[in-house]
Amino acid sequence: MKRKIAIAGDHAGFEYKEIIKKHLEEQFEVHDFGTFSTESVDYPDFVHPAATSVEKGDSELGILICGSGNGVQITANKHQKIRCALCWMPEIAVLARQHNDANMISIPARFISKEQAIEIVNNFLSTDFEGGRHQNRVDKIAFC
Protein backbone atom coordinates (compact mmCIF):
# COMPACT_ATOMS: atom_id res chain seq x y z
CA MET A 1 0.00 0.00 0.00
CA LYS A 2 1.39 3.40 -1.00
CA ARG A 3 1.94 6.12 1.58
CA LYS A 4 -0.50 9.04 1.19
CA ILE A 5 0.94 12.51 0.69
CA ALA A 6 -1.04 15.76 0.60
CA ILE A 7 0.17 18.52 -1.72
CA ALA A 8 -1.08 22.07 -2.22
CA GLY A 9 0.08 25.49 -3.24
CA ASP A 10 -0.82 28.81 -4.75
CA HIS A 11 -0.35 30.23 -8.24
CA ALA A 12 3.35 30.99 -7.60
CA GLY A 13 3.92 27.38 -6.56
CA PHE A 14 1.79 25.74 -9.25
CA GLU A 15 4.64 24.77 -11.61
CA TYR A 16 6.73 23.28 -8.79
CA LYS A 17 3.69 21.48 -7.38
CA GLU A 18 3.10 19.78 -10.70
CA ILE A 19 6.77 18.75 -11.00
CA ILE A 20 6.86 17.40 -7.44
CA LYS A 21 3.55 15.58 -7.88
CA LYS A 22 4.80 13.88 -11.04
CA HIS A 23 8.03 12.92 -9.26
CA LEU A 24 6.12 11.30 -6.39
CA GLU A 25 3.23 9.56 -8.13
CA GLU A 26 5.04 6.26 -8.80
CA GLN A 27 5.99 5.74 -5.17
CA PHE A 28 3.21 7.57 -3.28
CA GLU A 29 -0.51 8.20 -3.45
CA VAL A 30 -0.57 11.96 -3.92
CA HIS A 31 -3.72 13.88 -2.99
CA ASP A 32 -3.60 17.22 -4.80
CA PHE A 33 -5.60 19.94 -3.05
CA GLY A 34 -4.81 22.58 -5.69
CA THR A 35 -4.43 25.14 -7.01
CA PHE A 36 -4.76 23.85 -10.54
CA SER A 37 -3.42 26.78 -12.59
CA THR A 38 -1.22 29.87 -12.43
CA GLU A 39 -4.27 32.11 -12.00
CA SER A 40 -4.00 34.21 -8.84
CA VAL A 41 -5.68 32.55 -5.83
CA ASP A 42 -5.92 32.82 -2.05
CA TYR A 43 -3.57 30.11 -0.72
CA PRO A 44 -5.55 29.39 2.49
CA ASP A 45 -8.33 27.94 0.33
CA PHE A 46 -5.96 25.11 -0.63
CA VAL A 47 -3.70 24.88 2.41
CA HIS A 48 -6.46 24.38 4.99
CA PRO A 49 -7.87 21.25 3.27
CA ALA A 50 -4.36 19.81 2.83
CA ALA A 51 -3.47 20.48 6.46
CA THR A 52 -6.78 19.00 7.61
CA SER A 53 -5.96 15.85 5.63
CA VAL A 54 -2.65 15.48 7.48
CA GLU A 55 -4.18 16.49 10.82
CA LYS A 56 -6.91 13.81 10.54
CA GLY A 57 -4.49 11.14 9.31
CA ASP A 58 -5.99 10.84 5.84
CA SER A 59 -2.54 11.82 4.53
CA GLU A 60 0.66 10.84 6.30
CA LEU A 61 2.65 13.96 5.38
CA GLY A 62 2.12 17.16 3.41
CA ILE A 63 4.00 19.38 0.98
CA LEU A 64 3.09 23.03 0.39
CA ILE A 65 4.52 25.38 -2.23
CA CYS A 66 4.18 29.12 -2.73
CA GLY A 67 6.42 31.98 -3.76
CA SER A 68 8.19 32.51 -0.43
CA GLY A 69 6.92 29.46 1.46
CA ASN A 70 5.83 31.73 4.28
CA GLY A 71 2.11 32.20 3.66
CA VAL A 72 1.39 28.52 3.24
CA GLN A 73 3.50 27.62 6.28
CA ILE A 74 1.81 30.18 8.52
CA THR A 75 -1.60 28.95 7.40
CA ALA A 76 -0.81 25.26 7.95
CA ASN A 77 0.62 25.93 11.40
CA LYS A 78 -2.73 27.34 12.54
CA HIS A 79 -3.87 23.70 12.70
CA GLN A 80 -3.32 22.23 16.16
CA LYS A 81 -1.64 18.99 15.02
CA ILE A 82 0.46 20.42 12.20
CA ARG A 83 4.16 21.12 12.40
CA CYS A 84 5.05 22.71 9.07
CA ALA A 85 8.67 23.69 8.42
CA LEU A 86 9.84 26.20 5.83
CA CYS A 87 12.57 24.39 3.88
CA TRP A 88 14.87 26.25 1.52
CA MET A 89 17.65 23.66 1.49
CA PRO A 90 17.70 19.85 1.75
CA GLU A 91 19.43 19.80 5.13
CA ILE A 92 16.59 21.83 6.68
CA ALA A 93 14.10 19.16 5.58
CA VAL A 94 16.18 16.46 7.29
CA LEU A 95 16.40 18.40 10.55
CA ALA A 96 12.71 19.31 10.42
CA ARG A 97 11.85 15.60 10.41
CA GLN A 98 14.59 14.40 12.78
CA HIS A 99 14.28 17.08 15.46
CA ASN A 100 10.81 18.61 15.05
CA ASP A 101 8.76 15.69 13.73
CA ALA A 102 7.51 18.03 10.99
CA ASN A 103 4.52 16.52 9.25
CA MET A 104 4.39 19.17 6.54
CA ILE A 105 6.95 21.29 4.72
CA SER A 106 6.66 24.50 2.76
CA ILE A 107 8.86 25.24 -0.22
CA PRO A 108 9.71 28.74 -1.54
CA ALA A 109 9.39 28.28 -5.31
CA ARG A 110 10.71 31.74 -6.16
CA PHE A 111 13.98 31.19 -4.30
CA ILE A 112 15.15 27.66 -5.08
CA SER A 113 15.64 25.56 -8.19
CA LYS A 114 13.32 22.75 -9.22
CA GLU A 115 16.15 20.31 -8.52
CA GLN A 116 16.54 21.66 -4.99
CA ALA A 117 12.80 21.35 -4.44
CA ILE A 118 12.89 17.67 -5.44
CA GLU A 119 15.88 17.04 -3.17
CA ILE A 120 14.09 18.76 -0.27
CA VAL A 121 10.99 16.62 -0.83
CA ASN A 122 13.06 13.42 -1.08
CA ASN A 123 14.86 14.21 2.17
CA PHE A 124 11.63 15.08 3.94
CA LEU A 125 9.91 11.87 2.90
CA SER A 126 12.87 9.59 3.61
CA THR A 127 13.79 10.91 7.06
CA ASP A 128 12.29 9.69 10.33
CA PHE A 129 11.78 11.52 13.61
CA GLU A 130 14.60 10.70 16.05
CA GLY A 131 12.44 10.93 19.16
CA GLY A 132 14.54 10.76 22.33
CA ARG A 133 15.46 14.20 23.66
CA HIS A 134 13.43 15.80 20.86
CA GLN A 135 10.15 14.15 21.88
CA ASN A 136 9.78 16.24 25.04
CA ARG A 137 10.27 19.44 23.01
CA VAL A 138 7.79 18.41 20.33
CA ASP A 139 5.25 17.54 23.05
CA LYS A 140 5.47 21.17 24.26
CA ILE A 141 4.70 22.75 20.86
CA ALA A 142 0.90 22.41 20.91
CA PHE A 143 -0.76 25.19 22.85
CA CYS A 144 -4.40 24.80 23.77
Q: Identify the active-site residue in 23, 48, 99, 134.
A: 99
Residue 87 among the catalytic residues: no
Residues constituting the chain: 144
Alpha-carbon dihedral sign for residues 93, 108, 49, 17: negative
Give the helix ranges, DSSP H, for the chain. 14-24, 44-56, 70-76, 90-100, 114-126, 133-139
Residue 99 among the catalytic residues: yes
Q: What are phi and psi of 31, to 5 degrees?
A: -100, 110
Distance CA 46, CA 48 (A): 6
Q: Identify the active-site residue in 66, 79, 84, 87.
A: 66
Catalytic residues: 66, 99
